[in-house]
Amino acid sequence: PRQPAKTLWYDRPRYVYLEFCVEDSSDVKVVIEDQRLVFSCKNADGVEFYNEIDLYARVNSKDSREKRSDRSITCFMRKWKEKVAWPRITKENIKPAWLSVDFDNWRDWEGDEEVERAMVEQYAEV
What total of structural domains would you count in the chain?
1
Helix (H, G, I), strand (E, B) or coil at 123: helix
The residue type at 55: L
Q: Are 59 and 30 in contact (CB under 8 A)?
A: no
Beta-sheet strand order (sheet of 2-3): 2-3, 48-54, 36-42, 26-32
| Residue 2 in domain | no
| Residue 38 in domain | yes
| Residue 1 in domain | no
CB 126: neighbour CB atoms within 10 A? 8
CATH code, 73: 2.60.40.790
Q: Range of 24's domain?
A: 7-125
Residue 117 DSSP class: H
pLDDT tens track, the chain, 126 positions? 799 999 999 999 999 999 999 999 999 999 999 999 999 999 999 999 999 999 999 999 999 999 999 999 999 999 999 999 999 999 999 999 999 999 998 876 666 666 667 667 766 664
| Residue 118 in domain | yes
The residue type at 120: V
